Structure 1
Amino acid sequence: MNVKKLLFTALTGCIIFSCDSDDKVTDTVQDNVETGAVLRTIEIRENSIPIGIENGETIITGTAQLSITLEEQDQEEGALLESVDVYTTFTDGSPDTGDTSMAVTEEVFLGNIPVDLFSDGPFGLPRLDFTIEATELISAVNLTPNALFGGDTFTTRFALNLSDGRTFSTNNAGGIITAGFFNSPFQYVTPVVCNLDTNSFVGDYLIEELTPYVDGPTFADGSIVEVTVGNTDTERVFFTPNYPDYCSTPNDFNLLFVCGEIIIPLQESNCACSSGADYFGPTDTPENYNADDDTEFLITFLNDVQSDCATPEITTYRFTKQ
């Protein structure tokens, strides 16, 4: 990643236009909403499909679903909301396990949610409690539980339709909308996972970058971070600056512990050359973990997936429990 030119340009702009420390990121975001619309993530209650194997059969265990609360905002404070279309896409992340030859792998339309199924939220904006069961997702792509294994994913995408004929979704929402203040990604990746003890792989860890730097360290190399449980039992989260040589604000980084492999889902960087959306992501050869030993583990991920600043690079970090 080469952000030197980007930062030089930003500093020059401050000199010319006298950057004010009172300027808020939210000002920029609100300007975006005046010409568009967002579907903000208020809460993620469940977002995984845990599985188990019994007598050679794959069974769905626990609460297997995507369950979230969304809030719509547009330039007329929700008055433009007409409906939301819902789609899903299946991705086979375990091609050597489970027979997915009959799977529908292109995007599948799940249905339309009209405005009257939304209710007024505490700020007067339309809110929706959305839940889709794992069985519905599996059936929609023509599969059965026996075809699934850890690493497979279902991506649920929302398209927000306004009464003036405009539609907003992943194809026309920049990083300032999909992450940060508005947290409106318009899509959610639901992984198939094996159960993991919520007391494992949590606590303080020393992080060390093992691969060559990409225009400096990707995270705060050599620092201590706190790893915590994320939105599901198999998700872990820690905070660290992205590219600390250039940006000091901590950003969340998410790990998925998927049936023996540590998968890095697509996620944003808050230090990039443009939007920073989908900046970090999975590699073809993820690291493994031992569920009975959390004293040390590695994560390997693709750095700059979209070639935002430079050619994508593979980055590896070691985590050592303190």
Structure 2
Amino acid sequence: MKLNYKIFTTIALAAIVSISCTEGDKTFDDIVDAEQRGAVLRTINVNSNELPIGVSDGFFEVALEVQDQEDGKLVQSIDVFGTFLDNTPDNGKGATSSEALIETLNPASFELGDAGLPVTTYRVELSSLLSTTGVSDADIDGGDEFAVRFELVMTDGRRFSNGQNSGTLTGSYFSSPFRYTAIIVCPPKAPTPGVWTINMTDSYGDGWQTDTGSGGAGITVTLDDGTVLEVGMCSPYGGAAGTFLGGADCTPNDGSVGVGTITIPDGTLTADWFFPGDRYGEIGYEILTPNGNVVGGYQGVEAGSILINFCLD
């Protein structure tokens, strides 16, 4: 009986659609034309998101693309806001600030990219972030952050930012988080030799899906002698994270939590950490040095270099 009912329903729906099409699509077209859609500020690339202490010309920089249903023409302006996030309150220095307007951008001045959409590269220097938020050089320490948030102002007065985001927008397809963080870091130094620990999590409980839906690559660490180390949580699907380089093994886990390690040999001058991405916005991790200090962590859904906070090592 259930099967016959489903068949009848399917035929009835098909008939309705067929009749609607033969009688004209004006109503359907009117609905589509009248539909109000939002806008997207897509991340092309984050060029710089670390601010070294003592480097006066340090800056945050991101390349962006404006998307709406009229190729960017519905975005009237873009407000850029800044907030200081005090992640080291025990040092008795500054405190988290209120959000303040850095400046307002005019999309009419943007260039047209390869897709025919407005693109721009936005840069804000540390000095501007300090003055905007009312924070001084003496207030910042390694591990503190500045949040840079973009808000699209439409020609009809509507506004779009991270508060209106969905998982689809923040994920790998649109890459439109609207809000970015620039971390205060100490100048780079040679990594501490020994065993580094990576505590890994997955909020959905099925291991890591990084650059593919079936698992993908793990976090890689490239040493100055060319050695590439890799670590990632195993996935129950086809390509487990942490298995694509030279037979490297992924970290067994219960689907939600896993602990991996890499060993950096004595005499290593540099170690470049890279995160391959977060396919579904589920991945978390933190990096501990052989001294037991957390010096890096989850950077968001974007693939890219992992910032190591040498101040905390």
Q: TM-score, normalised by structure 2?
A: 0.57
Look up the match of 2:127: 135
Confirm whether residue 36 of structure 1 aligns to residue 38 of structure 2: yes
Name stretches of at least 5 consecutive residues in structure 1 with no aligned partner: 1-16, 18-32, 52-59, 230-236, 252-266, 303-322
Q: Distance in 2 between matches of 1:112 and 1:38?
A: 17
Summarize the Cα distance change of 1:224–1:297 in structure 2 as closer, same or farther, 3 Å threshold.
Answer: farther
Confirm whether residue 227 of structure 1 aligns to residue 220 of structure 2: yes
Task: Compare the two structures and name the one with the higher strand fraction.
Answer: 1
Q: Distance in 2 between matches of 1:127 and 1:143?
A: 31
Look up the match of 1:196: 188
Q: Distance in 2 between matches of 1:88 and 1:238?
A: 35
Please tell me whether the aligned partners of residues 206 and 224 of structure 1 are also in contact (alpha carbons under 8 angstroms). Answer: no
Look up the match of 1:47: 49
> 1:108: Cα distance to partner?
1.3
Please tell me whether the aligned partners of residues 217 and 232 of structure 2 are also in contact (alpha carbons under 8 angstroms). Answer: no
Please tell me whether the aligned partners of residues 82 and 149 of structure 2 are also in contact (alpha carbons under 8 angstroms). Answer: yes
Q: Determine which of 107, 111, 123 is the counterpart of 2:115.
A: 123
Please tell me whether the aligned partners of residues 207 and 225 of structure 1 are also in contact (alpha carbons under 8 angstroms). Answer: no
Look up the match of 1:165: 157
1:105-164: CA deviation from partner (whole Å, max 9, x where unpaired) = 221121211223322122211111211000111122212111111110000000011212
Matches within 5 A, 1:231-310: 240=232, 244-245=235-236, 269-271=278-280, 276=281, 279-280=282-283, 288-289=288-289
Larger Rg: 2
Confirm whether residue 85 of structure 1 aligns to residue 85 of structure 2: no
> 1:182: Cα distance to partner?
1.4
> 1:288: Cα distance to partner?
4.2
Look up the match of 2:226: none
Look up the match of 2:146: 154
Look up the match of 2:175: 183
| Letter paired with 1:129 | T
> 1:171: Cα distance to partner?
0.6
Look up the match of 2:267: none
Look up the match of 2:21: none
| Letter paired with 2:235 | P
Look up the match of 1:97: 91
Look up the match of 1:72: 66
Q: Distance in 2 between matches of 1:39 and 1:160?
A: 8
1:34-90: CA deviation from partner (whole Å, max 9, x where unpaired) = 822111111222111101xxxxxxxx2275111111110111111212110111111
> 1:245: Cα distance to partner?
3.0
| Letter paired with 2:99 | E
Please tell me whether the aligned partners of residues 206 and 225 of structure 1 are also in contact (alpha carbons under 8 angstroms). Answer: no
1:219-278: CA deviation from partner (whole Å, max 9, x where unpaired) = 89xx9945147xxxxxxx97857x723685869xxxxxxxxxxxxxxx98534xxxx4xx
| Letter paired with 1:61 | V
Please tell me whether the aligned partners of residues 81 and 103 of structure 2 are also in contact (alpha carbons under 8 angstroms). Answer: yes
Indicate the percent of aligned positions where both proteins have the same amino acid: 28
Task: Tell me whether 41-50 or 104-113 shows the greater mean CA deviation.
Answer: 104-113
| Aligned residue pairs, count | 219
Q: Distance in 2 between matches of 1:188 and 1:170?
A: 10
Please tell me whether the aligned partners of residues 86 and 96 of structure 2 are also in contact (alpha carbons under 8 angstroms). Answer: no
Please tell me whether the aligned partners of residues 207 and 224 of structure 1 are also in contact (alpha carbons under 8 angstroms). Answer: no
SS in 2 for 1:109: strand
Summarize the Cα distance change of 1:250–1:49 in structure 2 as closer, same or farther, 3 Å threshold.
Answer: same
Please tell me whether the aligned partners of residues 209 and 278 of structure 2 are also in contact (alpha carbons under 8 angstroms). Answer: no
| Letter paired with 1:289 | T
| Letter paired with 1:84 | I
Please tell me whether the aligned partners of residues 84 and 159 of structure 1 are also in contact (alpha carbons under 8 angstroms). Answer: yes
Q: Distance in 2 between matches of 1:218 and 1:152?
A: 28
Q: Distance in 1 between matches of 2:293 and 2:96?
A: 35
Q: TM-score, normalised by structure 1?
A: 0.55
Q: Distance in 2 between matches of 1:269 and 1:301?
A: 13
> 1:189: Cα distance to partner?
0.4
Name stretches of at least 5 consecutive residues in structure 2 with no aligned partner: 1-9, 11-34, 211-215, 223-228, 243-275, 299-313
C-alpha RMSD of the superposition: 4.4
